[in-house]
Amino acid sequence: MEFKTDNSPFTGSTSNIGSVMRQVLYALIPGVLVMFYFYGWGVLINIVLAIIIAVSFEVLSLWLRKRPIKPFLADYSAIVTACLFALSIPPLAPWWILMVGLFFAIVIAKHLYGGLGYNPFNPAMVGFAVLIVSFPLEMTQWIRPEFSNGLMPSLTDSLRIVFNGFESLYSLNQWDAVTMATPLDDMKTELKSGHYFSEVIRTNGYGFVSGKAWELVSLAYLGGGLWLLYKGIINWRIPVSLLLTLAIVAIIVGWLEPDTKQSSLFHLFSGATMLGAFFIATDPVSASTTPRGQLFYGASIGFFIYVIRTWGNYPDAVAFSVLIMNMSVPMIDYFTQPRVFGAKSGGK
Amino acid sequence: MSNKRKFWTFHGGVHPEFQKEQSTTQPISPIKLPKRLIIPVQQHIGAPTEVLVSTGDTVYKGQLIAKMADGQLGAPIHAPSSGMIGKIEKQTVPSASALNALCIELELDGKDDWGESQLEPYPDFARIDNETLVKRIEEAGLVGLGGAAFPSHVKIGSSAKHGIETLVINAAECEPYISCDDLLMRERTDELITGIRILLQLLKPQQCLVGIEDNKPEAISTMQRATKSLDNVHICAIPTLYPSGGEKQLIKILTGKEVPTGGIPLDLNVLCHNVATSYALYKAVVKGEPLISRILTITGDGVKQPQNIEALIGTPISDLIAQVGGYTSQAQRLIMGGPMMGIPLKNDNSPMVKASNCFLVASITSLQQAHSIHASQPQMPCIRCGQCMQVCPAKLLPQQLYWHTQAKDFERVTEHNLNSCIECGCCDFVCPSHIPLVSYFRFAKSEIRAQDVAVKKSDLSRERHDFLEFRKEREKQERDEKRQKHKEALQKKKAAMAAKKKATGEKEADDPKAAAIKAALARAKAKKTERARKKD
């Protein structure tokens, strides 16, 4: 009688990458719904288009790299990248924005570096960074969330805007009225021109702590993120250290220069903070993996978000902060190895 | 006595399906003599034994058939039953390397006759001094029965000299499927506690902690009842978590102390012994029986009646399987040990050895929890999710170790403390990418060892070469010096002679002999010139 002889252990758990990634997708659902409520069909068009484009690039890259296609599609990583990317660009952005961004995300940032598991940079954020540097206009035209008051473009109109440009429906003036700067952007401009934070926050378009739509969208992402924490898909260290640092830095600076800077709650509930903290900075491939390293990594991202938002040229800073820290990961991981069992602790 | 003790935890650990109930429904089945035994001459950590018998010899049960050379680490081997020695040649033995090793075959006569071979029983061991007891442990061939098979007399002897605070009896039995220690504690309670008492007498610890995972309630209550009269023996029901039966992990759970990296429990004044070893100790001391049999688990859906049996060391695995009713149609894998750390065997021709605590015969699907992980799901790239890190009981970073192993950057691998890896398999178990991490780490360890050996070798040959060069140089120098000296001596002599000549030259005229020679030369010259003129 002959038996199989591969090595121990002979038993394993049933989890796989695909199931991990699927749970990340489920956790995005509340955020997507809230965004859909405020920004309409553009959100869903972005997601569907992004998935189609990302999967096509993924298949193409795998085929060119002569890798098996089925197992690598079943890992859902391209779809997660597509969704995160789609949620960070303006709804009703022209279709080629998605093409360009996802080309950089999937082909350049992921597959040229060796595919799943080998990319030093977060693919979705590489795509986003390329776009915000190259096409700042298209990337900052968010439609007014007031469109939810029955004025939201219909599905067909949305598709026409995405594929034919807004000119097919609106004149330039009208389009300017339809779109607006994001609260992050708007607040920055207002503060620069000498207004006080407490003043601006009471104006139209702002809610309790930040933009009317954004605070709810952020809340929904926070909920999804907490669910991921509960399920053990992500670890608390990166999101908590990121959010805490961002809040603390904002409190300190706000205390030094009262009312001339955004409040810490404004920072936490604006832009991509929550999405970044729970869904982007936690991307395991490009993040630090040691416990202490993760705390440092998350805290540094939080710090850079504040610095770039406050003194930089860009309204939001999650993408750049994440990319900066992605670069530092190998060094962070090397210097933050945990004490192994039986090793003497530092003092002894 | 009380089980309300404080326990500590170790980092990580996993909860595989323990499957112990498969083999615990029946009592331990007694020894059934096979026709033939195959006895490897090395069944312990250390050097191989020297064979004392030759083909055709008749031996009694318990007769010494192979002994250790003086000063070598190891344990002697005895004939498990009476009969005639057959072939003595290399055969397959159950080991990770799957290499052949020297074995003594023994054709049993079925009489199971001790003859005069039994050692003197010490039923009243309290009167026996430590030295004699340690000698008994040595001559009975005792080794740790938990799996590592380290010679017991060395461990106990050095601890008895050193003195210990805590004696830990390892009865955790954390590997899935295995239940031989569980059944041993239920059925041979008094005997193994006598073994523990012998250890207490030898080592005089302040306390003795028996660690049993709480998934063995029957064994726990039996042991508690049986140790009521022993004040310093505590039965500790510890939470079930693989690998709590790892020596370092169990010591951490029970005492809160960590065995230092590269150290041994004795560094903490702790000694850890397997519960089955204390049963063997009882037999060796009280009964005068060397280690010739043990209790082991034969289990899995690949055998008809999974159960625990007592069997002679050297019994071929095929006989053990036959004893539990033979194979079922599900027998796809044969493993010595459990599913987490066991050794895969290619066939059942090889024998059981002192360290065999379990033979697991199972289908691939039953082992891999419904999904056939490694078989049907392809290995995916590491996504650095860190689940391996969260379960690693050594607090390593398996994801980093894997990365550097792939790159064959063994220096970095060493810097990440690969030598602290106990190969428990927790990282493999949880990996969502199904990467055989432990196999990578074993590979890295062997590469590092090979590199170390190569480095040592090359260091040695470089040293030799350097010495050769040095010697050549030295010889040359010596030669040169010699030559120089010689030259100098010659020159001195010449100079001395010249000086002498000079000194004598002034007196030349006075020398009649020299004048005579001069005159003779002048005459000869004159003659020559005259002859030349005549010719013209």
- This model of the complex carries an ipTM of 0.87
The answer to whether residue A9 sits within a structural domain is no
Note whether B370 contacts A14, CB cutoff 8 Å: yes
Largest CA distance in chain B: 143
Note whether A9 contacts B364, CB cutoff 8 Å: no
Mean pLDDT in residue range B218-238:
93
Query: What dihedral do alpha carbons B174, B179, B183, B186 form, nearest 10°?
Result: 30
Three-state DSSP class for B14?
A: strand
Nearest by CB to A14, which of B373, B386, B396? Answer: B373
Domain ends where: A137, A157, A180?
Answer: A180
Q: Is residue A3 within 8 angstroms of chain B, CB to CB?
A: yes
* pLDDT band (50, 70, 90) for residue B3: very low
Note whether B430 contacts A15, CB cutoff 8 Å: yes
Q: How far is the C-alpha of B76 from the C-alpha of B85, rounded, in Å? A: 17
The answer to whether residue A228 sits within a structural domain is no
Do A61 and A172 fall into the same domain? yes
Neighbours of B73 (CB within 10 A): 12
**Which of left, alpha, beta for A343 (phi over 0: left; psi -120 to 50: alpha)?**
beta
The answer to whether residue A347 sits within a structural domain is no
Task: List B297's β-bridge partners, or say none.
Answer: B308, B358
CA angle A300–A301–A302, rounded 5-degree value: 90
Which residue, B19, B13, B74, is CA-closest to B41? B74
Q: How far is the C-alpha of B456 from the C-alpha of B450, rounded, in Å? A: 10
Do A115 and A189 fall into the same domain? no
- B404-462 confidence digits (pLDDT tens): 999 999 999 999 999 999 999 999 999 988 888 999 999 999 999 998 898 888 888 88
Q: Is residue A255 within 8 angstroms of chain B, CB to CB?
A: no
Do A283 and A317 fall into the same domain? yes
* pLDDT band (50, 70, 90) for residue B158: confident
Per-residue pLDDT of chain A (348 residues; tens, 9 = 90+): 778 777 888 888 777 888 889 999 999 999 999 999 888 899 999 999 999 999 999 999 999 999 988 888 888 999 999 999 999 999 989 999 999 999 999 999 999 999 999 999 999 999 999 999 999 888 888 888 866 566 778 888 889 888 988 888 887 777 777 788 888 888 888 888 888 888 888 887 788 888 888 899 999 999 999 999 999 899 999 999 999 999 999 999 999 988 888 889 999 999 899 999 999 999 999 999 999 999 999 999 999 999 999 998 888 889 999 999 999 999 999 999 998 988 875 433
Do A204 and A265 fall into the same domain? yes
DSSP for residue B286: I
- For B51, the enclosing helix (H) or strand (E) is strand B50-51
User: What confidence score (pLDDT) does residue B506 get?
Assistant: 59
Q: How far is B393 from chain A (nearest CA, A)?
A: 7
Q: How far is the C-alpha of A210 from the C-alpha of A202, rounded, in Å? A: 10
What residues of chain A lie within 8 A of the CB of B388, using their CB? none
The full DSSP string for A146-206 is GGGTTTSPPHHHHHHHHHH-GGGT--HHHHHHHEE--HHHHHHHHHHTT--HHHHTTSTTB
Residue of A nearest to B96 (CA): A7
Do A95 and A242 fall into the same domain? no
- Please list, in sequence order, all residues whose beta carbon lies within 8 angstroms of the beta carbon of residue B456, skipping any fewer than 6 positions away: none
Do A131 and A24 fall into the same domain? yes
* Cis ω for the linkage preceding B243 (within 30 of 0): yes
The answer to whether residue A42 sits within a structural domain is yes
Do A40 and A160 fall into the same domain? yes
Q: How far is B346 from chain A (nearest CA, A)?
A: 5
Q: How far is A25 from chain B (nearest CA, A)?
A: 16
- Please list, in sequence order, all residues whose beta carbon lies within 8 angstroms of the beta carbon of residue A327, skipping any fewer than 6 positions away: A120, A121
Domain that holds residue A287: 182-212+233-334
Task: List B66's β-bridge partners, or say none.
Answer: B51, B77
User: What confidence score (pLDDT) does residue B1 get?
Assistant: 44
Tokens coding A64: 């060119």
Note whether A341 contacts B10, CB cutoff 8 Å: yes
* pLDDT band (50, 70, 90) for residue B377: low
Q: How far is A150 from chain B (nearest CA, A)?
A: 44
Q: How far is A64 from chain B (nearest CA, A)?
A: 18
Do A81 and A192 fall into the same domain? no
Note whether B385 contacts A3, CB cutoff 8 Å: no
Rg (CA), chain B: 38
Contact B70, B122 (CB under 8 A): no
User: What confidence score (pLDDT) does residue B378 get?
Assistant: 74
Q: Is residue A235 within 8 angstroms of chain B, CB to CB?
A: yes
Note whether B416 contacts A337, CB cutoff 8 Å: yes
Q: How far is CA B152 from CA B146, B199, B283, B355, B454, in A?
A: 12, 11, 14, 13, 33
What residues of chain A lie within 8 A of the CB of B428, using their CB? 9, 12
Which residue, A200, A170, A160, is CA-closest to A183? A200
What residues of chain A lie within 8 A of the CB of B429, using their CB? 9, 11-13
Contact B60, B106 (CB under 8 A): no
The answer to whether residue A158 sits within a structural domain is yes
The answer to whether residue A302 sits within a structural domain is yes
Residue of A nearest to B264 (CA): A342
Tokens coding B507: 């007196």
Note whether A4 contacts B261, CB cutoff 8 Å: no
Q: How far is the C-alpha of A280 from the C-alpha of A224, rounded, in Å? A: 13
- For B401, the enclosing helix (H) or strand (E) is helix B398-406
Note whether B432 contacts A17, CB cutoff 8 Å: yes
* pLDDT band (50, 70, 90) for residue B2: very low
Identify the sign of the CA torsion A80, A81, A84, A85: negative
The answer to whether residue A136 sits within a structural domain is yes
User: What confidence score (pLDDT) does residue A345 get?
Assistant: 59
Q: Is residue A333 within 8 angstroms of chain B, CB to CB?
A: yes
Task: List B104's β-bridge partners, or say none.
Answer: B39, B88
Backbone angles phi, psi at B37, to 5 degrees: -115, 150
The answer to whether residue A5 sits within a structural domain is no
- Please list, in sequence order, all residues whose beta carbon lies within 8 angstroms of the beta carbon of residue A25, skipping any fewer than 6 positions away: A76, A79, A80, A83
Do A165 and A281 fall into the same domain? no
pLDDT of B98 above 90: no
Residue of B nearest to A15 (CA): B432
Do A238 and A323 fall into the same domain? yes
Do A173 and A276 fall into the same domain? no
Note whether A8 contacts B339, CB cutoff 8 Å: yes
Q: How far is A322 from chain B (nearest CA, A)?
A: 17
- Which amino acid type is present at position B323? Q
pLDDT of B533 above 90: no
Number of domains in chain A: 2
- B329-344 confidence digits (pLDDT tens): 989 889 999 999 999 9
User: What confidence score (pLDDT) does residue A98 get?
Assistant: 95
Task: List B294's β-bridge partners, or say none.
Answer: B311
Residue of A nearest to B335 (CA): A5
Whole-number mean pLDDT of chain B?
90
Taking one residue from A and the other from B, the number of pairs with CB-CB distance under 8 angstroms is: 174
Q: How far is A186 from chain B (nearest CA, A)?
A: 38
Nearest by CB to A17, which of B327, B362, B433? Answer: B433
What residues of chain B lie within 8 A of the CB of A17, using their CB? 380, 383, 432-433
Counting every residue, how long is chain B?
536
Q: How far is B45 from chain A (nearest CA, A)?
A: 21
Return the minimum-mean-pLDDT range out of A309-318, B213-222, B282-291, B421-430.
A309-318
Q: How far is the C-alpha of B306 from the C-alpha of B300, rounded, in Å? A: 6
Do A137 and A207 fall into the same domain? no
User: What confidence score (pLDDT) does residue A205 get?
Assistant: 77
Mean pLDDT in residue range B163-187:
94
Residue of B nearest to A12 (CA): B429
What residues of chain A lie within 8 A of the CB of B397, using their CB? 289-290, 333, 337-338
Q: Is residue A327 within 8 angstroms of chain B, CB to CB?
A: no
Task: List B303's β-bridge partners, or say none.
Answer: B327
Note whether B438 contacts A9, CB cutoff 8 Å: yes
Nearest by CB to B333, which of A10, A16, A235? Answer: A10
Domains for chain B: give ranges and CATH numbers: 20-336 (3.40.50.11540), 383-503 (1.10.1060)
- B496-519 confidence digits (pLDDT tens): 888 887 777 656 556 778 788 888
Q: Is residue A156 within 8 angstroms of chain B, CB to CB?
A: no
Return the minimum-mean-pLDDT range out of B116-130, B250-264, B503-517.
B503-517
Q: How far is A341 from chain B (nearest CA, A)?
A: 5
Residue of A nearest to B425 (CA): A9
